[in-house]
Copies of this chain bind each other. A is one copy, B any other.
Amino acid sequence: MEIIKTINEVRLIIAAWKKEGLSIGFVPTMGYLHEGHQSLIERAAAENDRVVASVFVNPLQFGPTEDFSSYPRDLKRDMEVCRNSGAHMIFHPEADEMYFPDFCTHVDMDSLTAGLCGKSRPGHFRGVCTVVCKLFNIVGADRAYFGEKDAQQLAVIRRMVRDLNMAVEIIGCPIIREKDGLAKSSRNTYLSPLEREAALILKKSLDSGRKLADEGERNARIIVDTITENFVTEPLARLDYVELVDAFSMEKVDAVDRPVLVAVAAYIGKTRLIDNFFFEPASGLKTQQ
Enumerate chain A interface residues (CB-CB to B < 8 A). 7, 11, 100, 102-112, 129-130, 133-134, 137-138, 140, 159-160, 162-167, 249
Contacts and interface: CB of A to CB of B under 8 A. Distances in A.
B104 A167 contact: no
Leading 9 A-B pairs by shortest Cβ distance:
A105-B163, A104-B111, A137-B165, A104-B110, A134-B165, A138-B165, A105-B160, A106-B108, A108-B108
9 contacts: A7-B165, A100-B163, A104-B110, A104-B111, A104-B163, A106-B107, A107-B108, A130-B164, A140-B167
A125 to B, nearest CB: 11
A134 B164 contact: yes
Given A137-B166, A164-B137, A165-B138, A105 B104 contact: no
A87 to B, nearest CB: 21
A163 B133 CA distance: 10
Provide the main secondary structure of the chain A interface: mixed
Given A106-B108, A130-B164, 8 more contacts: A7-B165, A100-B162, A103-B163, A105-B109, A105-B110, A105-B129, A105-B163, A105-B164
Contacts of A165: 7, 134, 137-138
A105 B133 CA distance: 12
Contacts of A159: 104-105
B11 A167 contact: yes
Nearest to A166: B137
B100 A104 contact: no
Nearest to A111: B104
